[in-house]
Amino acid sequence: MKKRTALTLPFIICYLVFGNPLNAQTADRIERLLEQETVSCQEAALLTLEASGQLDPANNTNAEDAFIFARERGWLPANVKGSSAVNLKDLSFLIAQAFGIKGGLFYTIFKTPHYAYRTLVYYNIIQGRTDPLMHVSGELLLFTVNRAAN
């Protein structure tokens, strides 16, 4: 048992010193998101699904595949295009579905983006003066997904 521990320790030290290459990719992606005024549905789907554990970030899933994954499950409206800017009510519906957030009576019965938005406002995941039809910036996307994850 001591021999195994003695061999594992150098590998752990190398990992800690040199780090994981995915961390640099994630930091670059977050930086790019913070600079964006509007985020596409594909980018929103990728970040939300990775944060909720629906997709594994290590698999290098691209944004288009994440969008298709969410759309096939009915977590995005059928009329939304992947390259179009995501609005707050569609993002709310995606977040509520991906994270399995329980809503009130109307959300439970109807499961629509409007009631998903109201649910996230009620749970204080969406804060401040917002409009369900406003376009989502990268900063707002990161903030909202982070609040939903915690």
127: left (phi over 0), alpha (psi -120 to 50) or beta: beta
List the pLDDT tens digit at each of the 150 positions of the chain.
445 444 454 544 444 444 444 455 678 889 999 999 999 999 999 999 999 999 988 888 899 999 999 999 999 998 999 999 999 999 999 999 999 999 999 999 999 999 999 999 999 999 999 999 999 999 999 999 999 998
Q: Report helix angle 88-99 to 113-122, nearest 10.
A: 80
Token pair 């944004």 is at which residue?
63
User: CB atoms < 10 A from the CB of 64, how many?
Assistant: 13
Q: How far apart are CA 58 and CA 11, in angstroms?
A: 20
- What are the CA-CA distances from residue 134 to residues 52, 55, 94, 130 (Å)? 23, 27, 15, 7
